[in-house]
Amino acid sequence: MLTQDMAAKPPQIYLAGFDVFRPDAAGHGQYLKALCTERGLIGLYPSDGAVPAGLGAHDAARWICNANLALIRAADAVMANLNDFRGAGEPDAGTAFEVGFAVALGKPVWGYRSDSLALIERAAVRVEDRAAFCSQGFVVEDFGLPLNLMLACTAQLVIGDAAACLDAVRETLAAQRQHTSAKPASS
């Protein structure tokens, strides 16, 4: 829910997704942040902070994890790229964790996908006795949802790109802001 304090400043949106693994991750992060700025939002991109020099691999990983968790805590909402990553049917594991973390903190989450195909349509490779299986032999759930139910039922899903998702974020937050400002102050 949008608080009075949030109504006074632009909402901060944590930009979750496997985009940080793109070869042009920094440039793409700037692009996503510019999309936020165009909509009156502040984008918080996971790789904005430089990892301190001299850290070993495990310490660098811990630093990145803690920095991202701090950004999610500071954010008013999360937007997540929930497109398939490194295989059919599943988004990035780190992104899924970030969505769950935000939900646990009570933050609103929007996720976007480029298509609305049901998970079973993207991930199933064989069907036996009315059960569908992925390439590794595990059952693929069939709820007609484009994602695992834990993501599909906790994030507001947008079919489209980051810009379309941010439009939905802006619209919802603006409506909440209007609703909050319309309430009479309590005495």
What are the angstrom distances between the C-alpha of 120 and each of 6, 85, 89, 139, 151?
A: 39, 16, 8, 9, 15
Please choose, from the candidates 103, 104, 106, 86, the residue with its C-alpha nearest in 3D space to the C-alpha of residue 6. 106
Domain that holds residue 68: 4-117+148-182
Q: Is residue 126 part of a domain?
A: no
What are the angstrom distances between the C-alpha of 18 and each of 21, 48, 74, 105?
A: 6, 14, 20, 21
Q: Is 121 helix (H, G, I), strand (E, B) or coil?
A: helix
Q: Is residue 125 part of a domain?
A: no
Q: Average pLDDT in the 38-57 region?
A: 91
Rounded CA gap, 155 and 151, in Å? 6
CATH number at residue 44: 3.40.50.450
* pLDDT over 50 (residue 3): no
> pLDDT class for 47, splitting at 50, 70, 90?
confident
Q: What's the token pair of residue 186?
A: 């309590």
Rounded CA gap, 49 and 67, in Å? 8
Q: Is residue 138 part of a domain?
A: no
* pLDDT over 90 (residue 14): yes
pLDDT at 6: 47
pLDDT at 185: 60
Please choose, from the candidates 172, 21, 1, 12, the residue with its C-alpha nearest in 3D space to the C-alpha of residue 95. 21
How many distinct structural domains can be found in the chain? Answer: 1
Tell me the sheet residues that pair with 158: 112
Rounded CA gap, 70 and 19, in Å? 19
User: Exposed/middle/buried for 178, CB within 10 Å: 0-12, 13-18, 19+?
Assistant: exposed
- Of how many residues is the chain composed? 187
Per-chain mean pLDDT for the chain: 92
Rounded CA gap, 14 and 49, in Å? 13
Whole-prediction pTM: 0.90
Instruction: Write down the H helix ranges in the chain.
Output: 4-8, 25-38, 57-74, 93-104, 119-123, 149-152, 162-182
Q: Is residue 143 part of a domain?
A: no
pLDDT at 184: 67
* pLDDT over 60 (residue 62): yes
Q: Is residue 131 part of a domain?
A: no
Q: Which pLDDT tens digit goes with each residue over 122-166? A: 999 999 998 999 999 999 999 999 999 999 999 999 999 999 999
Q: Is residue 32 part of a domain?
A: yes
What are the angstrom distances between the C-alpha of 76 and each of 5, 28, 140?
A: 11, 21, 33
